[in-house]
Structure 1
């Protein structure tokens, strides 16, 4: 195929471009700016545009397909030219479906846990040398790319994101995959800039369940009442298989998973991750991995990149960073770290960085999410609020929303850094939660605090 990417530099888009290049397709692309690591990765295989910008002359009838990224606008000059010429235009998820319509599609959906569950499944498959196609939202140990497409593989494992497909296709991505095998991990309101009410958000998951191929199956987290309601109320003729958190114990900073062969030490921890593991086990069994082989492989899984990632450790102190930003993730991650290190003082720091988290009406969703921490800190940048064209939020609003006594709120990056670097981390656990970097925090410097 001869495929052109409009907005090739995005995290998802450049990985798809690399996957097609590796498959032997001819790939070109444009973007107005490309950041690392996308820039270096595209450059390494000759896919980096020579000049940044949009060039309608790149769009010709010789192209088999256009893949349109979310970063592009509806009036993008290359898009308008493609529409004028009648070249086939795909959104990212539409193109993935086109590439996998003759495969068994495994789609992992949910407000939280989907990257980790997808990563666990791929880790197990890789461990046992089972070749599958995939698309996952995090870089995995042992994997060169985040998207793999082949002609030969029978299965494709897709992380099912509920965000929008493209500037001209406002459907959530996971509505377009038509899974044969699906999983739903949890539902907690997110993306309020797109789904302004909780009911509207939940409706997207109902559509997802109804999109499963007739005769297919869904594994679902029976500990989430909203998930149970969505799945059990669906009239789609599919198999509905619940899962729950397995038994486990925590001893001396380590987690032991109960298995038929007795307690087994694992690298990941926290109730939410054990729940994710249970879902991954079911999916792997659907894909031909028996229970014993699953346990053998999952014992070596260290976690998805940016998900509860240990960045430093000494004899009596430890530091983790996590991509957590939505209320459900913040609560689960904070609770997990306290459970893992019950005898250490937990300092939990959260950056409010996303559109949702900086919206005054959404802040109340964070109530009690930091209660497991011994010391709780929130950082946000008033400048970020202004850039997103949101109404200003105050320290008082944030403190009230979290409902947490003693909550410390910083709005200046230097003040937050000074706070962090003034701490004695003896017998403490540090948790840094953000999808940003606290206004320019150097995490390598943070590592040196743990001695």
Structure 2
């Protein structure tokens, strides 16, 4: 029996891999210094929650087939040191996924934005079409028990992010997946704490394209000039499939999309979602799904969690929440709602929560991102700055960065709540964008405005 040990098993995706391998029949153990919900309950239910918290090098034995190292583990971790001493095979998450998928057709969805949604769309369609496949995706999706699944399926669909693989392997995760089919959704500088300049960030995508096998398929967003330039320079050895916004119409807040001469009404909307959909269609075509099957399946796709997720609506107001935090994502999400409901006032609230968005020097990257919002507001938590050991932000600097003198800036949750309470929601939409939680604000309770 294959024996695997996870150092830092409690990570949001890491614990899902642990559960998937347990379900595959592997002997799985793990450790962590603290584990939060929902990982805690998920691991307990699977029977692989560590008996005690903390690190213990006695858990590392010579008979382990693999040690999988989570992002949360540090270089001086005693279990890691013991594994190295015993010359065990130590893998980061993506390195191990590659080992498990050597005999599979690998589909990797990369890019600065839209990865989760595009991956989710492909998964939804393949499931509806009755295809057998493995997957890993960064969100919980309706119809899927977990966010990682590893079986003996012939195909694996992977969300491929550019963040470092582990404490001992600083290269981006997507460099380890070596897909036969890849999607690049676009390039917009993010993760400033890891990639301090745009050039360093861009170089990660250069390497990704260069290291794809000759004849592999690269599906790329032709509406992104930086990406087109990159693909033209580096992608001559690949089968190239460009995509753009598909033919569509919008009527009474409903978007209908046309593929292959057929038209269907969709549950999702916005150019960014339609671009994701077009990329998903090309992937599914490569995997043997025709346009008719694709269109019928994608018409029932409701979106990934917190990606333009509908919190509630009535006949004159809708409340959405979205994971958007990087400038390109904020801009795309706001524009999608304005295009879908052109006659409604848009109240847009963005929480600055990531290292990049809380960096005063990065603020200029948000120039114009909230231009289409009628009533724009930004919230940031002083507590988040303290945790990240970053200096305080000045509201004037934030407004200047966004290029909006009328931008409302809050760093107190009660003040933000008072602002929301004071708005007129007649013929208006409310959009909340964050990778955080507005210091614990109860978002579902905002349906009181309806």
> Cα distance, 1:341 vs. partner?
1.1
2:5 aligns to what SS in structure 1? strand
Q: Does 1:253 align with 2:249?
A: no
Contact 2:382 2:392 (8 Å CA) reproduced: yes
| Superimposed CA distance per residue, residues 273-326 of structure 1 (whole angstroms, 9 cap, x where no aligned partner) | 101111110000000101111111100011111111001111211100000000
Question: In structure 2, what is the Cα distance between the partners aligned to 1:115 and 1:223?
Answer: 19
> Cα distance, 1:329 vs. partner?
0.2
Contact 2:264 2:296 (8 Å CA) reproduced: no
Contact 1:139 1:304 (8 Å CA) reproduced: yes
2:174 aligns to what SS in structure 1? helix
Question: In structure 2, what is the Cα distance between the partners aligned to 1:139 and 1:383?
Answer: 27
**What residue number does 1:91 align with?**
92
> Cα distance, 1:87 vs. partner?
1.4
Question: In structure 2, what is the Cα distance between the partners aligned to 1:202 and 1:222?
Answer: 17
| Superimposed CA distance per residue, residues 25-49 of structure 1 (whole angstroms, 9 cap, x where no aligned partner) | 1111111111111111111111111
> Cα distance, 1:259 vs. partner?
3.3
Question: In structure 1, what is the Cα distance between the partners aligned to 2:235 and 2:413?
Answer: 51
> Cα distance, 1:235 vs. partner?
5.2
**What residue number does 1:5 align with?**
6
**What residue number does 1:388 align with?**
388
Contact 2:260 2:291 (8 Å CA) reproduced: no
Say if 1:353 and 1:30 are closer, same or farther in 2 by CA, change over 3 A: same
Q: Does 1:63 align with 2:64?
A: yes
**What residue number does 1:172 align with?**
172
| Superimposed CA distance per residue, residues 183-240 of structure 1 (whole angstroms, 9 cap, x where no aligned partner) | 1110000001111110110110011111212221101111101111111111552111
Question: In structure 2, what is the Cα distance between the partners aligned to 1:369 and 1:270?
Answer: 15
Contact 1:210 1:236 (8 Å CA) reproduced: no
Contact 1:209 1:236 (8 Å CA) reproduced: no
**What residue number does 1:127 align with?**
128
Contact 1:357 1:363 (8 Å CA) reproduced: yes
Question: In structure 1, what is the Cα distance between the partners aligned to 2:132 and 2:42?
Answer: 23
| Superimposed CA distance per residue, residues 323-352 of structure 1 (whole angstroms, 9 cap, x where no aligned partner) | 000000000000101111111111000000
Contact 2:259 2:291 (8 Å CA) reproduced: no
Gap regions ≥5 residues in structure 2: none
Question: In structure 2, what is the Cα distance between the partners aligned to 1:186 and 1:237?
Answer: 20
Contact 2:316 2:427 (8 Å CA) reproduced: yes
Question: In structure 1, what is the Cα distance between the partners aligned to 2:259 and 2:288?
Answer: 19
Question: In structure 2, what is the Cα distance between the partners aligned to 1:307 and 1:254?
Answer: 17
Q: TM-score, normalised by structure 2?
A: 0.98
Q: Does 1:358 align with 2:385?
A: no
| Superimposed CA distance per residue, residues 364-410 of structure 1 (whole angstroms, 9 cap, x where no aligned partner) | 00011011111000001123223212232200100100001311000
Question: In structure 1, what is the Cα distance between the partners aligned to 2:284 and 2:260?
Answer: 17
Question: In structure 2, what is the Cα distance between the partners aligned to 1:444 and 1:291?
Answer: 37
**What residue number does 2:278 align with?**
278
**What residue number does 2:81 align with?**
80
**What residue number does 1:205 align with?**
205
| Superimposed CA distance per residue, residues 411-434 of structure 1 (whole angstroms, 9 cap, x where no aligned partner) | 111111121123332221000000
Say if 1:86 and 1:236 are closer, same or farther in 2 by CA, change over 3 A: farther
Question: In structure 2, what is the Cα distance between the partners aligned to 1:418 and 1:233?
Answer: 52
> Cα distance, 1:262 vs. partner?
4.5
**What residue number does 1:47 align with?**
48
Report how many residues are paired.
449
Question: In structure 1, what is the Cα distance between the partners aligned to 2:46 and 2:218?
Answer: 38
Question: In structure 2, what is the Cα distance between the partners aligned to 1:230 and 1:105?
Answer: 22
Question: In structure 1, what is the Cα distance between the partners aligned to 2:346 and 2:235?
Answer: 46
**What residue number does 2:367 align with?**
367
2:44 aligns to what SS in structure 1? helix
Gap regions ≥5 residues in structure 1: none
Say if 1:443 and 1:235 are closer, same or farther in 2 by CA, change over 3 A: closer
> Cα distance, 1:128 vs. partner?
1.1
Question: In structure 1, what is the Cα distance between the partners aligned to 2:350 and 2:69?
Answer: 33
| Superimposed CA distance per residue, residues 143-183 of structure 1 (whole angstroms, 9 cap, x where no aligned partner) | 001111112x1111111100000000000000001111111
1:27 aligns to what SS in structure 2? strand
